[in-house]
Chain A
Amino acid sequence: MDSEKFCRLLRDNGFDFFCGVPCSVLGRIIEHLSCNKDFQYVPATREDEALGIAVGAYMGGKKPVVLMQNSGLGNSIDALTSLVLLYRFPILLIISWRGYREKDFPEHSLMGKYMRDFLKTMKIPAIVLSKNGLPKQIADAERMMKELEAPVALVLRKGIVE
């Protein structure tokens, strides 16, 4: 799916505030969010900062999405446990899966292997996005967030959204 259509899907599901730190896998999506006036995208300096901004935006009535590389999940553990999960903020996380099947640079290999375990330990539902399932997967994530009053992660591998 192209990034424009993907962003439109997010908007159709009510998401109206975007914040994050880039990854090459997310590059086209962030480019579209930043350049298009229909979207509000805030570039953060760190992934935990992005979560803080998203929490604030949520309290102000927005429905936020945080985009990050899975390396940034490491930077985010305290923000997730002591803020997002503790206060129950339903925020959509879009996390790129670097190190998927170890076909990536060495710095991504361990987080690529452990990412889903970290999410599972924190009881954050993770949906691995697939080319043909995107509309349903995004709608499912939105419904789960509302029901659980908690964050849900969409995991994005290279080549799914271009």
Chain B
Amino acid sequence: MRRREAIEAVTGCFKEGYIIACNGFISRELFGMKDRPQNFYVLGSMGLPPAIALGVALARPDQRIIVITGDGNQLMSLGTLATIGKTSPKNFIEVVLDNECYETTGGQETSSSSIKLHELARSSGFRHSEYVASLDRLVMVLSKSLHAEGPIFIHTKIDKEKTSPPRAQVDPCKIKNRFMKALTGS
């Protein structure tokens, strides 16, 4: 599965959803595919995208909040899985795109091949946690999660790629302001 295909599956299922995208190629790919105010690009702060999404989800229980993150990013903040499990927001969905490397910095290996992230999420208290092995299955699980109670954790493997998507060309304050305007109207 290509990174782009996995992200398209998410944006295709959650057309109106609020997406927090992690730093690096995942934010860049999302920006390049379709920039929109409901996307919050985390430009730095590696490890924090799930925490940011958790904060939004707790503040806005009426909206579905999706975070797309990578394996290196998730491994940096495994403790956040416990915080999500403990607070258990029903509107929280996490998608981990796992290419077993830090692709943005040149493809150095992560430790994700030796850990079952979806099992960790399940034991942390996620209501539903699943490893999906194909794009078809990813689309099906995402469609189901549109109406299911969270927190939901979806883990899938993606290819290592040689292409480098362009950086998100939006001022950080603008990313924040337009996301807030879309979410809260202010």
A56 interface neighbour in B46, B54, B172, B184, Cβ under 8 Å: B54
| Given contacts A60-B56, A60-B60, A61-B184, A46 and B79 within 8 Å (CB-CB) | yes
Contact at A56–B44, with CB atoms within 8 Å? no
Which A-chain residue is minimally distant from B78 (CB atoms)?
Answer: A45
Kindly state whether residue B47 has any CB partner on chain A within 8 Å: yes
Q: Mark B46-76, 1 if CB is under 8 A from A, else 0.
A: 1111111111111110000000000000000
Contact B59 A17 (CB under 8 A): yes
B80 within 8 A of A: yes
Instruction: Provide the residues of chain A in CB contact with B45, threshold 8 Å.
Output: 48, 52, 78-79, 82-83
Which of B42, B80, B175, B183 is close to A49, meaning CB atoms less than 8 Å apart? B80
- The answer, among A17, A53, A78, for a CB contact under 8 Å with B51, is A53
Q: Are B77 and A49 in contact (CB under 8 A)?
A: yes
B176 in contact with A87 (CB, 8 Å): yes
- A60 contacts B86, CB within 8 Å? no
User: Do the beta carbons of B83 and A42 come within 8 Å of each other?
Assistant: yes
Interface string of A58-76 (1 = CB under 8 A from B): 1111101000000000000
Whole-angstrom CA separation of A87 from B59 in the bound complex: 19
Give the distance in Å from the alpha carbon of A49 to the alpha carbon of B42 in the complex: 14
Known: A45-B80, A49-B79. Is A86-B54 also a contact (CB below 8 A)?
Answer: no
In B111-133, the 8 Å CB interface with A consists of: none
Distance between B96 CB and nearest chain A CB, rounded to angstroms? 16
Interface string of B20-52 (1 = CB under 8 A from A): 100000000000000000001011111111111
B176 x A49 contact (CB < 8 A): no
Known contacts A56-B57, A60-B59; A49/B173 CB under 8 A? no
- For residue A134, CB closer than 8 A to chain B, the reply is no
Contact B52 A89 (CB under 8 A): no
Q: Is A95 an interface residue (CB 8 A)?
A: no
A10 contacts B by Cβ under 8 Å: no
Contact partners of B42 in chain A: CB under 8 A: 83
Question: Looking across the interface, which residue of chain A has its beta carbon closest to that of B63?
Answer: A60
A53–B54 CB distance below 8 A: yes
Report which A residues bind B (CB closer than 8 A).
17, 19, 40, 42-46, 48-62, 64, 78-79, 81-83, 86-89
B-side residues, CB < 8 A to A, are 20, 40, 42-60, 77, 79-80, 82-83, 86-87, 172-173, 175-176, 179-180, 183-184, 186
Q: Can you sample 27 A-B contacts with CB below 8 Å? A: A17-B58, A40-B58, A42-B54, A42-B87, A44-B51, A46-B77, A49-B83, A51-B48, A51-B51, A52-B55, A53-B83, A54-B55, A56-B20, A56-B58, A56-B59, A57-B56, A59-B179, A60-B55, A60-B56, A61-B183, A61-B184, A62-B59, A78-B46, A83-B44, A83-B48, A86-B44, A87-B172
